[in-house]
Amino acid sequence: MLLKTITTTTTNTSTTLTHPLLTITSLFHHHKPTTFPITTKPFTHSLRTTTVKPMSWLTRLGFGTRTPTDPSSDQSSSIAQGPDDDIPAPGQQFAQFGAGCFWGVELAFQRLPGVTKTEVGYTQGFMHNPSYNDVCSGTTNHNEVVRVQYDPKECSFESLLDCFWDRHDPTTLNRQGNDVGTQYRSGIYFYTPEQEKAALESKEKHQQKLNRTVVTEIIPAKKFYRAEEYHQQYLAKGGRFGFRQSTEKGCNDPIRCYG
């Protein structure tokens, strides 16, 4: 330790004191100096790092692995994968169809005689009560569908199938035109064994007609989540540009599907 000689002078005496450095001595009073100890502690600083995994563009289009959205995802999935518990009007039946963007598909069914109601929505996914943004993320496995209510006395299920096949290309997997993703897949979702039988037979005939593989899935209808109100009867209400398109029964006007 370094030493330093300090001379203190008062009115009565002159005293020479030897103290360690970093010691403070009063110049006016004779008392013990006050020493402040220096304590050296190691300084450490830890940085918390977070690794963000970039979302693959394939995932955005619906080809990635589903990631649970919350701790209750198992319960959410069981609800979403349950049956459609809605009940059609007396004497009516339900059917669900996925054939690409649901705007144009709905208008096609609206024009079909015997169809009494149409709604667009989401089904066949893992998330309970999904939003449009959830479905478009490609992580919920939902399909955009039209749920058709029809009077079987005026409209056969086969007529619905004809409208379905005419409206889209059932040979493109998870795609219709420029719309790409699992939410645009081709699907027939049946409510009765009779609908299933008719759908399978119709698919076989259509595949022979096209001479190409039809990728349409034919599986039981699951819980239907009605889409946001602005999606309902979108083209009939005029869409973004306000050009209303006819829903008159039997109308053959070209359907213009625009956002």
Q: Average of pLDDT values for 180-193?
A: 98
| Residue 39 pLDDT exceeds 70 | no
pLDDT at 235 over 70: yes
What digits encode the pLDDT tens for the residues 88-125?
999 999 999 999 999 999 999 999 999 999 999 999 99
Using the predicted structure, report yes or no on whether residue 188 has a pLDDT greater than 70: yes
**pLDDT above 60: residue 255:** yes
Strand partners, 120: 146
pLDDT value of residue 75: 85
Nearest to 66 by CA among 48, 87, 80: 80
Are 5 and 16 spatial neighbours (Cβ–Cβ below 8 Å)? yes
CB atoms within 10 A of CB 239: 17
SS (H, E, C) the chain: CCEEEEEEECCCCEEEEEEECCEECCCCCCCCCEECCCCCCCCCCCCCCCCCCCCCHHHHCCCCCCCCCCCCHHHHHHHHCCCCCCCCCCCCEEEEEEECCHHHHHHHHHCCCCEEEEEEEEECCCCCCCCHHHHHCCCCCCEEEEEEEECCCCCCHHHHHHHHHHHCCCCCCCEECCEECHHHCEEEEECCHHHHHHHHHHHHHHHHHHCCCCCCEEEECCCCEECCHHHCCCCCCCCCCCCCCCCCCCCCCCCCCCC
Which of 10-14, 179-183, 184-188, 245-249 has the lowest average pLDDT? 10-14
Mean pLDDT over 147-171 rounds to 98
What value does the mean pLDDT of the chain take?
81
Please give the CATH topology (third level) of the domain spanning 79-231.
Answer: Peptide Methionine Sulfoxide Reductase; Chain A (3.30.1060)
In this predicted structure, what is the pLDDT of residue 74? 82
**If you average pLDDT over residues 40-52, what whole number do you get?**
42
**From the candidates 101, 155, 163, 257, which is the catalytic residue?**
101
pLDDT for 259 equals 61
Q: Pick 15 or 170 by higher pLDDT.
A: 170
Cβ partners under 8 Å of residue 8, min gap 6: 14, 15, 16, 17, 25, 27
Every domain of the chain and the residues it spans? 3-35, 79-231
65-88 confidence digits (pLDDT tens): 444 444 347 888 999 999 999 999
Compute CA distances 15 → 4, 19, 130, 175, whole Å: 14, 13, 88, 99
- Give the model's pLDDT for residue 8: 43
Q: Would you call 163 a catalytic residue per the annotation?
A: no
- 48-57, 75-84, 132-141, 156-165: the lowest-pLDDT one: 48-57
**Cβ atoms of 129 and 180 closer than 8 Å:** no
